[in-house]
Amino acid sequence: MFSKDQLKEVHADYSANIERYRFYADSYAGGTEYQNGEYLFPYVLETSNEYDQRLRETPLENHCRRTVDSYSSFIYGSNIERTYGSIENNPNLEAFLQDADLDGRSFNAFMREAGKWASVYGCVFISVDKPQSNATTRAEELGQGIRPYISLLSPENVVDWQYQRQSNGHMVMTYLKAIETRTDEYTDFIVYTPESTMRLRALKDSKVVSVITETPNTIGEIPVVVLYNNRSWKHAVGISDIADVADIQRSIYTDYSEINQLVKLSNHPTLVKTQSTEASAGAGAIITMDENLDSGLKPYLLTPSGQNISTLTDTIDRKVVAIEKMTHLDSVSGQKTARSGVAMMIEQKALNSLLADKAGNLALAEEQIWRLWCLWEGTAWDGDVVYPDSFDTRDRTQDLLNLKIAMEIGVTNKDLQKVVQASIARALVEDTDELNELLQSINAPDEIAHPTTTPETRTPHIQTMIMEGLTDQQMLDLHPEISNDDIVFAKEQLLNIEGDDG
């Protein structure tokens, strides 16, 4: 039985990373979450009210969300192939694909969201569970709607875990503890072991730990898959896509706060006066001074220079360029920098490699999910999951401009013209079937020109078509002006010529 002190124990890697996890999540979410994170540095002698106002007035340029969503759009904008093998006709399969988490999300939508949060945190945990049932037969179980489902656990909630190397060399998770619910009165935990799944409640003002449910683990292993964004040297700890982006985003956030303060001070300068002088800094204000006031104590306005604003905006632009470079998104972004075509091509290859690695990790995690799903269903997974391993990250607008220039040069070679036309089709058409039809028509051999015949040229031309192997119907289709009699006459003349030669 767990004590409250045991429930409070956390993994050393959790303690080391929890603050960064929260920072990553806030940086991706933006909005109120980012404001509540208080990521602006307070000024010296700044009051709490002044600091809160500055937080509310400072806008966030969310590069973290753009980075994560861009990667996701590339991966899930491509076709993902799944074959289900022996579970193709499983009655629970379609229900699972339509509602994977018993909360209305389809399996595709769930995996897309899991991939995004793995990109944010570095990894996420996906549990594959099955409700306990009192059904005694498979039919009763199906009638009750009892089937496996999946849940997403964030690294912020998974507080402790253990791995152990098996005799065959595999590293296997043997323990996992996560927070399910946290309120002012209690905290609910879920604890996975190879033998059971327990849900426990620890009251805030009591040392008593109560067992909510305890379910035997009939599959004999912990039903949790770790979806890594990128692997690190440690188990259950991944590498986030926004680890560096979030820091630069925070720096830009601070710059915007400084700009806001400079604008307010420039437009509303500070009035410096003695205490006895009656004055305000508003438009049309009247200043009343003592007649005997020392001339050196006359009121004046203190206005900072606005030149620093342009310096800050230039700094922000450089930081945005740095984010584009480190995420390899500069090759597909709207911001163009003076870079060679070779440099852009290298960036596109780097982005393609990054996306391929992410897709590979998603495919691996999905295979593990299906394996656990099949274990709960009492069968073995023999299907296949194939994520794309190549992603088209070309700048189509630039490609079309280059092709336009090539056409304007005056390409006369027919084969080269076909290459240009095929490139234009690939840049414009996204539907695979439509693109294949266009490419086939472009690459089809040119038809031989068949000009309209005259009575003088009709017979020789018909004879030429006969020698080329055209049928009577084909000749009639090509030349509406000829008749069957013309064809018969041309054939007789051709036979006479061949007879004379013989």
Task: Specify if 273 maps to a domain.
Answer: no
Phi, psi of 6 (to 5 degrees): -65, -40
The one-character DSSP state at 295 is G
Residue 23 lies in a domain: no
- pLDDT at residue number 443: 73
Q: How many domains is the chain partitioned into structurally?
A: 1
Task: State phi, psi for 385 to the nearest 5 degrees.
Answer: -125, 125
- In this prediction, residue 60 carries a pLDDT of 94
Q: In what order do the strands lie in the sheet with 209-216?
A: 158-165, 171-182, 186-192, 196-203, 209-216
Residue 476 lies in a domain: yes
**In whole angstroms, what separates CA 230 from the centre of its chain?**
14
CA distance 85 to 340: 48
- Take residue 368 and report the two structure tokens written for it: 């593990």
> Does the residue 281 lie in any domain?
no
Task: Round to whole Å and give the CA distance between 208 and 227.
Answer: 34
Domain of 466 in residue numbering reads as: 455-501
Residue 469, in any domain of the structure: yes
Q: What is the pLDDT of residues 118-130, one digit of tens each?
A: 999 999 999 999 8
For residues 125 and 133, is the Cβ–Cβ distance under 8 A?
A: no
* Six-digit token string for 352: 């393609």
Distance in angstroms (rounded) separating the CA atoms of residues 267 and 286: 19
Element (H, E) at 82: strand 81-83
Stretches in the chain below the pLDDT threshold 70: 1, 133-138, 140-143, 265-269, 271, 279-286, 300-307, 331-342, 392-400, 410-412, 430, 444-449, 497-502
Q: Return the pLDDT at 229.
A: 95
Q: Which of 163, 172, 171, 186 is nearest to 7 (CA)?
A: 186
Task: Note the pLDDT tens digit of each residue in 239-287.
Answer: 999 999 999 999 999 999 999 888 876 666 676 777 777 766 666 566 7
Is 180 domain-assigned?
Answer: no
| Residue 477 domain flag | yes
Model pLDDT, residue 200 = 93
Q: Beta-carbon neighbour count of residue 82 at 10 Å? A: 15
Q: CA–CA separation, 117 vs 119, rounded Å?
A: 5
- Asked if residue 462 is part of any domain, the answer here is yes
Cross-strand bridge partners of residue 278 = 288
